[in-house]
Amino acid sequence: MSHSKTSYVCLPCRASYKQSYDRDRPRRICPRCAEPLVHVGSAFAAPRRRDTAAWRTLSVLVHAGVGFHKGCCDCGPGYRPRTLREVRERMTYARRTGEPFARALVRPEVP
């Protein structure tokens, strides 16, 4: 039985690669720039390479530790901000309330 594939991204190259997940080989290298790839999860959909705003948003999410992993019922990873404006709103909310930044980023509604 073949294993399902998961996504890895290179933020400097703005490239995404689907590869099989192997616990014995956790570190992957970008074929373009030789920098380490970041494991983002199997429910990840990459933005277009020329969409710099979407890649900046993705960079904030990745650096905050937010992943795109499927749940147990294959319903997807849940809400993730798609624009820098949504990221800024959630950052402001996190600063105001003291909520952890990663949890505020995946919040669908900001009160």
State pLDDT tens for residues 86-95. Answer: 999 999 999 9
**In this structure, how many other beta carbons lie within 10 angstroms of the beta carbon of residue 87?**
21
> What was the pLDDT predicted at 78?
77
Buried/exposed 26-55: b ≥16 CB within 10 Å, e otherwise: eeeebeeeeeebbbbebbbebbeeeeeebb
Domain map of the chain by residue range? 5-105
Angle at 47 between CA 80 and CA 36, to 5 degrees: 90
33 near 13, Cβ under 8 Å?
Answer: yes
Asked whether the predicted pLDDT for residue 70 surpasses 50, the reply is yes
Q: What pTM was computed for the model?
A: 0.82
Strand 38-41 relative to strand 15-20, pairing: unpaired
Q: Considering only CA atoms, give the Rg of the chain.
A: 15
